[in-house]
Amino acid sequence: MTQPATFTTLILFSLFSSFSGNGQQLTEAEYAEKGKYIWEHFVPQSGQAKFVQGELLRAIEKLRDEAQRNGNGNFNNQCHGLLVDYLRSKLTDPTLFSEEKIQGINAELDLLNNAQAPYTHDAPYDYITNRIIDWFMHYGESLEHTPNPNLNC
């Protein structure tokens, strides 16, 4: 399935190498490979994803695209604000991440949740993408996403 050009940035991961939630250390290439797999198999061409990992990846890439391509000119709470909330709800899971890691996730999401100050550097998006992959490795492929009827993007 054809996806927006922003996916190419997905494989350009930041220096935020880390451990997956299950203690397994991943290389940047492994993160990139798993990210590509999620993108190709779980992110639809349009609309919300059927499975959580697809919706998480779709959410971070929509945020990246809005900031980098549009300078947050169309940032709104019915789209981008809800996407940040969704990412936060899934990625601040204490059964998966340490309190320190959760604080880092929240700090990065706070950077991205500002309509007046678009964050255009890749590092926070890549950090969150890696946490999405950690989430995926922990929970697998079978958790269905419940579409948000209030999400307007």
What are the tens digits of pLDDT across the range 74-99?
999 999 999 999 999 999 999 999 99
CA angle (152 as vertex; 148, 153 as ends), nearest 5: 100
Is residue 47 assigned to a domain?
Answer: yes
Condensed to tens digits (0 to 9), the pLDDT of residues 14-57 reads 323 344 444 557 999 999 999 999 999 999 999 999 999 999 99
Domain interval for residue 87:
23-139
pTM exceeds 0.95 for this model: no
Is residue 5 assigned to a domain?
Answer: no
**Alpha-carbon dihedral angle through residues 21, 27, 32, 37, given to the nearest 10 degrees:** -60
Question: What's the rounded mean pLDDT across residues 135-141?
Answer: 96
Q: Are 77 and 34 in contact (CB under 8 A)?
A: no
Alpha helix ranges (H) inside the chain: 7-10, 28-42, 52-70, 82-91, 99-112, 123-139
In the prediction, which pLDDT does 24 show?
58
How many percent of the chain have pLDDT more than 90?
A: 84
Is residue 17 assigned to a domain?
Answer: no
